[in-house]
Amino acid sequence: MNFESIIVSSIYELGGGVTVKQILKNTGLAKKHENKVKETIKKLIRSRVLFKNKKEQLYISEMRNVYTGKVATLSRNFGFVTNLLTEEDSFVSGGQLKGAVPGDIVLAKEVAEKTSTRSATAVVIAVLQHSEELFGGVIVRERQAFRVLPDTLGCPPLAIVKVSEMVKEGDKVLFSIRKRGEHHSEHTVDVVKVLGSCEYAKNCTDAYLIQNGIPVVFSPECSAMAKEIGTKEISQKDIAKRLDLRDTPIFTIDGADTKDIDDAISVEKTDSGYKLGVHIADVSHYVTKDSAIDVDALERGTSVYIADKVIPMLPKELSNGICSLNPGVDRLAFSCLMEISKEGKLGKFQFKKTVIRSRLQGIYSEVNAILENTADDNIKEKYREVIDIIPVMKELADILSRNKSDRGAPDIQSSESKIICDKDGICIDVKKRVQGISEGIIEEFMLMANNAAARLAMKHELPFVYRIHENPTAEKIETLKMTLDGLGINALHINENSSAADFSALLRKTEDDPRYPIINRLILRTMAKAKYSEKPVGHFGLVMAEYAHFTSPIRRYSDLAIHRILTDYVSRKGAENIKKIYSDFAVRASAIATKTELSAVAAERSCEDFYTAEYMENHIDEEFDGIISGVLNSGFFVELPNTVEGKVDVMTLPAGDYETRNNIALLETLSHTAYTIGDRVRVKCVNANVNSGQIDFELIKVYNNEN
């Protein structure tokens, strides 16, 4: 029994000025606990958590620094608590958490204020409400007993009180906390679900999704509604009030394995330039506000893509069915019809509710083959109705791409992986995802439609969900300059007043440097994270004052939200009425879309680590060439050409005293041997732990240091 939390939370609840008798009565503690309560109170007074006045009444010290928070995350040695009022996170060292776990509501006290470079620091003084969440872990054997080693609680294996089914050593399990201790290591647990061996990435992924609250099953109400909608045909009534574009040569281009097709395009060359149509699945026609499907979609916020599977925002009856712009069938769409000058400038545009019939389901690799003149007869036959349009598409996209470059938008490349699994869901290969010509074409066309949507909303002052990207902070820019200086790279005119064009110039200047991938990554880390907002702040990276996400309503709630708003606009409901209906909705949708996007990105990255470790398990003792991608006092990271990243532990390096210099190099202080980010190295894979997603390398040689 955690007497400290019981006492402090009772005083907090009663508002202070509380006696021991009142605490015993309020908490329901028996008389036999009185001595323990008094002893704990003395301890809390000595540690200045509480103070007592002359009337023997107890108060919490310095209430102005005390707040109610929720434990957000834990690691081995620390955690973060989110202030429920300000939504800001505070750092809490492991010994100051009072045994609190993610999801717990706690009473925390700020002991150091937030600065420009670090979060505020706090201590937990009481656990007010225990989380009912499940946690992931692995079954380990200690002597003759099974225990659970938690994934996230940062503590030794915990004692098991109850097991729901038979377990064995190495099983990945979900557990609940049965009895709390004052420290994490004192908790006892019940195992509630056995997922299978922790050596399989799919089991570790299942555990991650459940313990991080990412919904994988739709509510019964949502599923029932989706099935009903999925069985309906598009009626003449649906079509009657729409612009009929079924005779227009419209088609889709996606990856070969895409099933949720939410965008199609049409392009026509004119005397004055081009007509570009971006036709998006009219999801808002089927997913009405506050319906069961809408409630589930808002909770999810986005589809999550992990290895070979998708956790969709919408049920498959919609995402792969009636909303998917499948070829040869009528589909309801929301189209952005644009006139673009020969110089690539957006002229007149309009948003129209339409009905379309896609000519074919294009595949990126096939369109790339057509553009590269390597397409075989089968591909040419498949695309015969639109093959003459494809060169026009590239012509327009090239103009738009040049304009983007001329605006100064930096061409920052992220290192994305493609996980390839066998029929059993086991990772058999990892490749670097490469963007081809047609991928770039579609990206440029989507940018134009997104820009048009934001322009319309800003012109008419509609409540909206904008995609914003703020300027980099001065601190991050200073860190970038120091890092580049340490690498001997001239940072040109990069400073806190730099424009996107300055970063673009830096990338162009260093594109022939062998360390370019590292420079690209450093600039990417300098950038602020894009997010959603009801305020049109603009997009720094794209150098656009007007930007929103309109083109993926099947997989992003932000897009569905603005479809709903624009639907009422094109229905002539008037800007003032739209403001009344959607002002609060836009604020709420923006916040939830940002939060769920962050959650999805974290899930995709964490689970990707499980799969890459599973892949590398079959490559133990093999050697690889790579590049040093990051340094710590405990070692350095090496990224392979296929994006797999592993760590070289400092303990495996030649004996010596090591320290990091300027966050760019691990230096042996006596020999002055340096392992610097960007160095090309050869490593051997010595271990891969699927459960932790960790890969261990040993250094074979450093190419840069060879004579």
Q: How confident is the model at residue 707 (pLDDT cuts 50, 70, 90)?
A: very low
CA nearest 462: which of 547, 579, 577? 579
Q: Are residues 45 and 191 in the same domain?
A: no
Per-residue pLDDT tens over the stretch 114-163: 776 678 899 888 888 888 889 999 999 998 889 999 988 878 899 999 98
**Are 252 and 264 within 8 A, CB to CB?**
yes
How large is the C-alpha radius of gyration of the chain? 29
User: Is residue 14 situated within a structural domain?
Assistant: yes
Are residues 223 and 318 in contact, defined by beta-carbon separation less than 8 angstroms? no
CA distance 518 to 629: 7
- Segment holding 519, helix H or strand E: helix 516-526
Domain residue limits at 168: 135-198
Q: Do 93 and 51 share a domain, yes or no?
A: no
Report how far residue 436's alpha carbon sits from residue 418's, in angstroms, rounded to the nearest whole number.
14
Non-local (6+) Cβ contacts of 67 within 8 A are 83, 84, 85, 86, 107, 108, 109, 110
Specify the pLDDT at position 257. 87
Q: Are residues 402 and 349 in the same domain?
A: yes
The helix/strand/coil state of 412 is coil
Residues with Cβ within 8 Å of 625's Cβ and at least 6 positions away in sequence, in order, are 640, 641, 680, 681, 682, 703
614 inside domain: no
- Residue 432 in any domain: the answer is yes
Structural domains of the chain, count: 6
> Would residue 277 count as lying in a domain?
yes
Closest CA to 199 of 162, 176, 166, 169: 169
Domain boundary, last residue among 551, 582, 605: 605
Same domain? For 640 and 590 the reply is no
CATH of the domain at 649: 2.40.50.140
Q: What are the Cα distances from residue 543, in Å, to 279, 403, 410, 411, 500?
A: 24, 11, 9, 12, 7
Provide the β-strand partners of residue 191. 163, 175
Residue 544 placed within a domain:
yes
C-alpha distances out from residue 65 to 121, 329, 367, 538, Å: 11, 62, 61, 36
Note whether residue 209 is domain-resident: no
pLDDT-above-70 percentage for the chain: 98
pLDDT digits (tens, 9 = 90+) for 424-456: 999 999 999 888 999 999 999 999 999 999 999
660 and 701 together in one domain: yes
Indicate whether 298 pLDDT > 90: yes
What is the per-residue pLDDT across 217-240, written as a single tens digit (0 to 9) for each?
Answer: 999 999 999 999 999 889 899 899
| Residue in the structure block whose two tokens are 């002229």 | 347
Give a yes or no: residue 207 inside a domain: no
Is residue 429 domain-shared with residue 338, that is, in the same domain? yes
